[in-house]
């Protein structure tokens, strides 16, 4: 079977990580893979180095239907048997149309609740086209029951949607450097309480609330240190500057550290006493699974499918979004209490092992592929 994966962008993020897991499993069983991306980035460069062909189509505006024809032509040229999308609304609409024009079945993988434009008229036609083109999909996958419910409210019947939770390989979640070595890089004393967050820098990930909570916690205990891992992928550095300016205004440059994009995520996470994800919108965050795999207790906002990952008061604490006071309290309860945090971290590790393995996830997806009954399948 020859499969085309459409990704949301060329950078490394949760959806791309899941896509790569599926690609690796597909290649292992003998499938051929091509990837389509709106632009180049660290992730697409990884694919190219591994010999996986990458094509670029600038999916952006919903009404740029010329991209549907470009996508259709590419599918025909490459003799694609199946399309699997990991994209947002605009690209999904265009890809569904393009795949239908090419006569290629399509699976849509929804990694985060659909976010429509704020402008009323644009929102109306985006929702309309997304709902209509959903009927062109052979199957829609959501990564959480919460996202499946969101699609149902939007107008896409739950009968068309399968929930397949994200999963990770515990054997790959290994750190290479000691906690002491990582903290030395940032000039942090080893007996400090290190609180970290990982994600692209953008308002919905809640880094501003994280900084405001840090400001309050440092006033209570000067041994706290905070690490923000991630890159500004959406505002070309403008949002990162806003966050850094806030840290400077609060006189916290010696207590809050920005790392930018890092390839040694597991090393950094291992240095945390507590992992925090104060997002305002989520699907089923890979970063939480990674933190739990590294036996870290989690503080996260109760949005999207987060509650399907974090067992509240067992593997971590769930709090409301946009609530700095609750964030401070939760970090204090876990990050400031080593025995309690350790116990939660161990339970989180077991939860990932039992319910969120990579093998469970890819097996379900590959079975969906086989159910497409595509002529010429090699599997």
pLDDT (0 to 100) of residue 104:
97
- CATH assignment, 170-355: 3.40.50.2000
pLDDT at 88 over 70: yes
- What's the pTM value of the predicted model, to 2 decimals? 0.90
Residue span(s) of the chain under CATH 3.40.50.2000 come to 2-167+358-371, 170-355
pLDDT (0 to 100) of residue 119:
82
pLDDT at 376 over 60: no
pLDDT (0 to 100) of residue 357:
95
The number of CA neighbours under 13 Å toward the Cβ of 315 is: 22
pLDDT (0 to 100) of residue 374:
58
The number of CA neighbours under 13 Å toward the Cβ of 51 is: 3
Check if CATH label 3.30.230.10 holds for domain 2-167+358-371: no
pLDDT tens-digit profile of 153-173? Answer: 999 999 899 999 999 999 999
Please, are residues 353 and 169 in contact by the beta-carbon 8 Å criterion?
A: no
SS3 150: helix
Q: What is the mean pLDDT of the chain?
A: 94
pLDDT (0 to 100) of residue 378:
41
Burial 188-217 (b: 16+ CB within 10 A, else e): beeebbbbbbbbbbbbbbbbbbbbbbbbbb
Please, are residues 267 and 236 in contact by the beta-carbon 8 Å criterion?
A: no
Average pLDDT over residues 34-57: 96
Angle at 188 between CA 168 and CA 220, to 5 degrees: 95
pLDDT tens-digit profile of 99-109? Answer: 999 999 999 99
SS3 288: helix
Distance, C-alpha 174 to centroid of its chain: 19
Residue 64 is given by DSSP the state -
pLDDT (0 to 100) of residue 373:
61
- Report how far residue 325's alpha carbon sits from residue 47's, in angstroms, rounded to the nearest whole number: 42
Sign of the C-alpha dihedral, residues 200, 204, 206, 207? Answer: positive
């Amino acid at each position: 079977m020859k499969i085309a994966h459409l990704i949301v962008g060329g950078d490394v993020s949760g959806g791309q990580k899941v896509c790569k897991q599926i690609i690796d499993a597909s290649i292992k069983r003998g499938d051929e893979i091509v990837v389509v991306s709106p632009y180049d980035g660290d992730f697409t460069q990884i694919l190219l180095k591994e010999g996986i062909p990458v094509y670029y189509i600038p999916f952006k505006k919903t009404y740029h239907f010329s991209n549907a024809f470009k996508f259709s032509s590419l599918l025909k040229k490459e003799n694609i048997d199946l399309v699997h999308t990991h994209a947002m609304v605009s690209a999904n609409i265009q890809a569904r149309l393009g795949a239908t024009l090419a006569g290629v079945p399509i699976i849509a993988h929804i990694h985060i609740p659909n976010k429509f434009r704020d402008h009323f008229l644009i929102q109306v036609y985006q929702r309309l086209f997304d709902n209509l083109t959903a009927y062109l999909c052979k199957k829609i996958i959501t990564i959480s029951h919460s996202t499946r419910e969101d699609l149902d409210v939007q107008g896409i019947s739950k009968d068309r949607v399968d929930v397949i939770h994200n999963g990770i390989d515990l054997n790959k979640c290994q750190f290479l450097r000691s906690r002491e070595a990582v903290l030395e890089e940032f000039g942090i004393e080893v007996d400090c309480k290190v609180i970290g967050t990982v994600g692209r820098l953008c308002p919905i990930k809640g880094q501003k609330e994280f900084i405001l909570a840090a400001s309050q916690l440092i006033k209570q205990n000067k041994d706290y240190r905070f690490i923000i891992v991630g890159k500004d992928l959406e505002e070309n550095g403008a949002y990162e500057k806003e966050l850094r300016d806030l840290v400077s205004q609060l006189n916290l440059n010696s207590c809050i550290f920005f790392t930018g994009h890092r390839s040694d995520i597991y090393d950094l996470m291992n240095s945390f006493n507590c992992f925090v994800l104060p997002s305002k919108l989520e699907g089923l965050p890979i970063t939480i699974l990674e933190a739990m795999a590294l036996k870290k207790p989690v503080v996260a906002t109760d949005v999207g499918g987060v509650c399907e990952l974090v067992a509240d008061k067992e593997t971590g604490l769930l709090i409301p979004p946009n609530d700095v006071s609750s964030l401070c309290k939760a970090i204090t309860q876990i990050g400031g209490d080593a025995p309690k945090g350790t116990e939660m971290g161990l339970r989180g590790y077991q939860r990932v092992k039992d319910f969120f393995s990579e093998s469970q996830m890819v097996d379900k997806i590959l079975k969906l592929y086989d159910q497409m009954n595509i002529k010429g399948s090699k599997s």
